[in-house]
Amino acid sequence: MSFTPHGKNLIDGAWVASTDSFASAPFSGPSYSFASAGSAEVDAAALAAARAFWTYGRTSRAERAAFLNAIADEIEARGADITEIAHQESGLPVARLEGERGRTTGQLRLFASHILQGDYLDRRIDPALPDRKPAPRTEIRLIERPLGPVAVFGASNFPLAFSTAGGDTASALAAGCPVLVKGHPAHPGTGEIVAEAILAAIVKTGMPKGTFGFIQGPSRDLGEAVVKHPAIKAVGFTGSLGAGRALFNLCAARPEPIPFFGELGSVNPNFVLPEALAARGEQIAQGWAGSLTMGAGQFCTNPGVVVLPEGPAGDRFVAAAKAALEQIASQPMLTDGIASAFRAGTARFHARNAVTPVIETESQGRTASPNVYQTTAATYLQDHALGEEVFGPLGLIIRTADAEEMLTLAHGFEGQLTATLHLDDGDMGLARALLPILETKAGRVLANGFSTGVEVVDAMMHGGPYPASTNASATSVGTLAIRRFLRPIAYQNLPEGLWPADL
């Protein structure tokens, strides 16, 4: 491999060492030492971002678009090295990483194109009415403006698309906000080489050095120091419910509370309606098994729950799912900690008397094999723990007695990123009854598909009611993600020379 990590933090355009360090724990290949940032590094990086904001926040849309495209160019120039070290650190297949790198550069270019159009600025102009009675009205103009420096936390399960130059970073930079990334310790070398690409784009396009900073370290204290720093004005996070809620609480408890955009995962229920179940239940079961185990189940949109009627057609679905899952080999997990948590989650289901196994396997070390269980709607509604996400290839099939119980169960789900209806023409009546419920539960509702594919497009919504995310109105995927890091400002009766250029 031509890339060897130097293990330093990127602060104000320079690679900086620190007194403490940590070692990477790759799935394969060599381990490297990385500087572990502390409060001094956080302070220096955050203040550099604050200084950069006064210039970067006032760049033109064309300048920022050129910067985003330059980042994509620099990532592509390092493509082979990025894939190699990401494969070593995460254990993810090369083909998956190649696709994820394409998604990362693709969303950078999409955001560049989107901000050039200008629609995201939501410009509104109410002209003056000097002759209005009983009182005249002055001119009022409104536009979206950048919030300020944004902290981004890298995700464990997407070392590229949701990490250093991922969707949160790309959308904040598109909005005009400098970014400070706290890299995920599961893939520090991958984070570093992507940070090098962003620094090269800063130099190439002449952006302020503090426009992007990158710090690393495994301690929870580091993440807390980032969100508590007064220069940080918003936070983007993808990760577990526990860690996300802790950071959310810190953001709210600051002397100046700031928005926390946390995407925390969900179980993404699939409702298989009676006509579809009878006509093609085995086919749906096979598709569900494939989606459940894709990437060892390490997706926030993993379809962890299936709801289907009791009876022979449902039994055939269960048998087909079991047969398909028996063909799935064990797969590597992203970290030893994630693998351990998966085993603990599986044990939690195994210990419940009212939950019966469909397929149980033993997962060892840093690998995982599928485990699926079955229960009744009444049991699920009485046991809140059954609705908690287990990160990995674990599924739960919930059987319902009739349509009324399916509707009751739908009401009982917590907030989700997605919900799916599998239906045929004869299911439309039940689907119409379910849809208003699912709209209150999920940010994305699908029909006759599976939720593990998230398109990076204008219309995508990747968020949902809590606990799926901390802001049900925000998305971390698609061009609407840019608006998280903007706020509307109204200008009343300003002379023309003072208007922002975009207004």
Q: Tell me if residue 41 is catalytic.
A: no
Tokens read off for 13? 């355009």
Name the β-bridge partners of 126.
140
Closest CA to 370 of 347, 392, 351, 348: 392
Q: For the chain, how are helix, strand and coil distributed in percent, rounded to 5?
A: 45, 20, 35
Sheet of strand 371-376: strand arrangement: 356-359, 371-376, 394-400, 305-309, 270-272, 416-422, 442-447
Angstrom distance (rounded) from CA 323 to CA 49: 54
The amino acid present at 59, given as its one-letter code, is T
Angstrom distance (rounded) from CA 267 to CA 251: 26
CA distances in angstroms from 208 to 60, 177, 179, 244, 364, listed in the order given: 14, 12, 12, 30, 48
Angstrom distance (rounded) from CA 154 to CA 161: 9
Catalytic residue among 144, 300, 389, 405: 300
DSSP state of 159: T
Q: What is the DSSP string of 33-63?
A: EEEE--HHHHHHHHHHHHHHHHHHTTS-HHH
Does the bond joining 185 to the residue before it have cis omega, within 30 degrees of 0?
no
Task: Give the residue carrying structure tokens 């400098």.
Answer: 178
Angstrom distance (rounded) from CA 187 to CA 117: 35
Pairing of strands 234-238, 356-359: unpaired
Closest CA to 49 of 197, 182, 224: 182
Cβ-based neighbour number of residue 430 at 10 Å: 18
Q: Tell me if residue 139 is catalytic.
A: no
- Enumerate the H helices of 57-93 as residue ranges: 61-77, 79-90
Angstrom distance (rounded) from CA 179 to CA 422: 41
The size of the chain, in residues, is 503
Q: What are phi and psi of 363, to 5 degrees?
A: -100, 135
Q: How big is the chain by its Cα radius of gyration, in Å?
A: 24
Angstrom distance (rounded) from CA 39 to CA 330: 40
Q: Are 354 and 257 in contact (CB under 8 A)?
A: no
DSSP state of 164: T
SS3 389: coil
Name the β-bridge partners of 238.
263
Task: Give the residue carrying structure tokens 């210990």.
Answer: 351
Catalytic residue among 89, 263, 275, 405: 263
Enumerate the active-site residues: 263, 300
